[in-house]
Amino acid sequence: MKSAQPEAKLLVVDDEPNIRELLSTSLRFAGFDVVAAGNGRDALTAAETHGPDLVVLDVMLPDMDGFTVTRKLRASGRHCPVLFLTARDDTEDKVTGLTVGGDDYVTKPFSLDEVVARIRAVLRRTQPLLDDEAIIRVDDLELDDDAHEVRRGGEVIELSPTEFKLLRYLMLNPNRVLSKAQILDHVWEYDFNGDASIVESYISYLRRKIDRNPDVPALIQTKRGVGYLLRTADRR
């Protein structure tokens, strides 16, 4: 029986009518409120109108690719998480997705159970956590949970929802080396079929944003063969 209160509002974007309808129907049955679009332009309009909690977005669309749609969403101030659907299990696609703020991938052909599991995992890791301090500070780095903002030296740094959660985890454990397995378990809550390379990619892009000023000591450090840590000034 369908819950009276939807679990979350989803925007499903795919130009293939059969896939779009199958996904929409299955996700509604799983307890989500679903709106759908068949191309990038309609997806942007639907996002503006409905304010989804998450976008399930096909990479290959007729008018613009999913990466372009995501860039436009981010540029308009919408930072809802994005789950990409792709027919290509390609590292280049994954890297491109990370740079535009994507949060996860499902490769076609996919199982509906996998899509639902990935959606719920992304929603869990991107929801605001209210049981801890709203503002976390490490040296000149500040993370504001309520405003979902990050600043270093007073300058605002734009992060995707997953980058935000990864940084939050590092900041809650300063000077502690965190293994890839620990990061996957805490940040993704899904093992990506054991693919720990996703952690390396996110650390790399997070480092480019957080430690981009060469005149300021780098905070994010790699402990080769062990993991990653956020090293404070007093421990350098």
Mean pLDDT check: name the lowest of 17-31, 113-127, 147-161, 162-176: 113-127
Chain-centroid distance of CA 204 in Å reads: 15
- Report the C-alpha gap between 198 and 174 in whole angstroms: 22
**How many CB atoms are located within 10 Å of the residue 218 CB?**
14
Element (H, E) at 194: none
Residue range 13-28: mean pLDDT, rounded:
95
Q: Are 203 and 220 in contact (CB under 8 A)?
A: yes
Residue 111, pLDDT score? 86
Kindly tell me if the per-residue pLDDT of 194 is higher than 90. Answer: no
Kindly tell me if the per-residue pLDDT of 80 is higher than 60. Answer: yes
Chain-centroid distance of CA 29 in Å reads: 24
- Report the C-alpha gap between 107 and 112 in whole angstroms: 12
Residue 236, pLDDT score? 65
Kindly tell me if the per-residue pLDDT of 191 is higher than 50. Answer: no
Handedness of CA 158, 161, 162, 166 (dihedral sign): positive
- Mean model confidence pLDDT for the chain: 84
Using 50, 70 and 90 to split pLDDT, how confident is the model at 49? very high
Using 50, 70 and 90 to split pLDDT, how confident is the model at 25? very high
Is domain 135-230 in CATH 1.10.10.10, yes or no? yes
Kindly tell me if the per-residue pLDDT of 64 is higher than 90. Answer: yes
* pLDDT digit string, tens, across residues 121-151: 888 777 655 444 578 889 999 999 878 899 9
Kindly tell me if the per-residue pLDDT of 92 is higher than 60. Answer: yes
Q: Where are the domains of the chain?
A: 8-126, 135-230
Residue range 167-171: mean pLDDT, rounded:
91
Same fold? 8-126, 135-230: no
Kindly tell me if the per-residue pLDDT of 109 is higher than 70. Answer: yes
Q: Are 204 and 214 in contact (CB under 8 A)?
A: no
Residue length, the chain? Answer: 236
Top-tier CATH class for 8-126:
alpha beta
The helix/strand/coil state of 149 is strand
